[in-house]
Amino acid sequence: MIPRNAELYTVAHDEIVVTFSTDVGVEVTTSVGDHEVTTVGPYHHVTVGGLSPAHEYSLRVSGVAPDAYLPATVTTLAEPSGKLLCRFATVNDVHFGEQICGLIGGESAVGPVFTRSPRDEAYPDVMNRSVIADIERTKLDSVLVKGDLTSSGTTEQYQAFLDAYGTFGDRLHHIRGNHESYNSEVVANVGSKVVELPGVTAVMLDTSRYEHPNGVVTRAQLAWLDNVFTGAPNPVLVFGHHQLWDATTDPRTDKFFGVIPECTEQLLELFARHDRVAGYFAGHTHCNRVVRNPAVRNIPIVEVASTKEYPGAWAEYRIYEGGYLQVGRCTSGSDAMGWADRTRDLYAGLYRNFALGKLADRCFVETW
């Protein structure tokens, strides 16, 4: 039985993760150099640890020929210098209350769309429960949720989010996305905030815009950020829901789906004035992507894929004295992997490449 949809998803300095599916009960061995791990189907989430930083290894899943998703070799990330100071997670686009996956554009939407049957548990609940369990197992210092907590911004859906992610207690921090701000009810209006963690200042920036799906950064927020950046005791990472406008690829219009061009330019100008700012991290687009702007020291401007569908994404950040790693993660629970496997074919089969992005969009190392 040949494994299906084998993907190298995660590369850290000391481990890699490969995912694929088979029929029920099928055993498959994954080899990374001299390391071997055997897993049993139908859904395989293979973690191979004990690897050396910045080292090239051969990679093989039994029965699978190398391709763009599963290369013949993999090179682990370099490890930043100094002590490991903290580790934290981000998730986004969790969409509690959503019932139809892939429905964009009403009757003219590009299919297929997917739903759970009335007998089955709601898929946002399945996906989020699995990701929450994954994060709990890694014993991280904090969990930052970057918006789109709900499907339609109702109080009930927001409470469902709080009930699920409340397991993290005071480690949990969240901001709104467009699904909380463009509907008639306004929920999760907790505002922007600073989260001080060992070795890093994390800024949660509310980019939502009432009654609009796209995002803004106000003058008041820019002034607040200026003060935060000036007084920050550590390097700063900024987390918002909306992605930033990219002048090299995106048309200049106030209808741009992310942070509108004028606001993006003002935010980037602020980043350029403060050397402590070392990255901006968003969701919203449901894809993995990194842009580097020479005018802003080539710091990573990041988008992380959605939690509630393929690939069941979240991200881990490892903060060192000398820099940080972004380690892209995907859900490991069997039920959740089944839903991710099904929704890989959204939007006429184009979604896999769009959402997955390149390995360097998911996993990278950045020095201070």
Name residues of the chain where pLDDT drops below 50.
none
Q: What are the pLDDT digits (tens) for 128-153?
A: 999 999 999 999 999 999 999 999 99
The CA–CA distances, whole Å, from 359 to 5, 283, 307, 326 equal 16, 17, 18, 11
**CA–CA gap between residue 69 and residue 212 (Å, rounded):** 36
Q: Cite the DSSP H helix spans in the chain.
A: 123-138, 155-165, 178-181, 219-231, 261-273, 334-343, 351-356, 359-362
- Dmax over CA atoms of the chain, in Å, equals 59
Q: What is the pTM of this model?
A: 0.96
- 275 and 128 together in one domain: yes
> How many independent structural domains does the chain possess?
2
Q: Which of 71, 81, 88 is nearest to 16 (CA)?
A: 71
Token output for 200: 């890093």
- 114 and 206 together in one domain: yes
- 244 and 340 together in one domain: yes
Token output for 104: 């964009």
Helix, strand or coil, per DSSP, at residue 262: helix
Q: What are the pLDDT digits (tens) for 72-117?
A: 999 999 999 999 999 999 999 999 999 988 777 555 566 688 887 6
Q: Which residues contact 98 (CB under 8 A, 6 or more apart)?
A: 122, 123, 124, 151, 308
pLDDT at position 114:
84
Which of 18, 51, 75 terminates a domain? The answer is 75
pLDDT at position 308:
97
- 133 and 169 together in one domain: yes
Which of 75, 103, 118 terminates a domain? The answer is 75
Give the domain extent around 277. 84-367
Beta-carbon-side half-sphere exposure of residue 54 (alpha carbons within 13 Å): 5
Query: What's the CATH code of the domain at 9?
Result: 2.60.40.10
- 231 and 104 together in one domain: yes
- 271 and 336 together in one domain: yes
- 151 and 269 together in one domain: yes
- 325 and 361 together in one domain: yes
pLDDT at position 117:
65
Token output for 124: 């946002």
- 67 and 149 together in one domain: no
pLDDT at position 366:
98
pLDDT at position 348:
86
- 17 and 138 together in one domain: no
Our CA dihedral for 169, 170, 176, 179, rounded to 10 degrees, sits at 0
- 55 and 128 together in one domain: no
pLDDT at position 202:
98
Q: Which residues contact 189 (CB under 8 A, 6 or more apart)?
A: 176, 180
Query: What's the CATH code of the domain at 354?
Result: 3.60.21.10
- 28 and 147 together in one domain: no
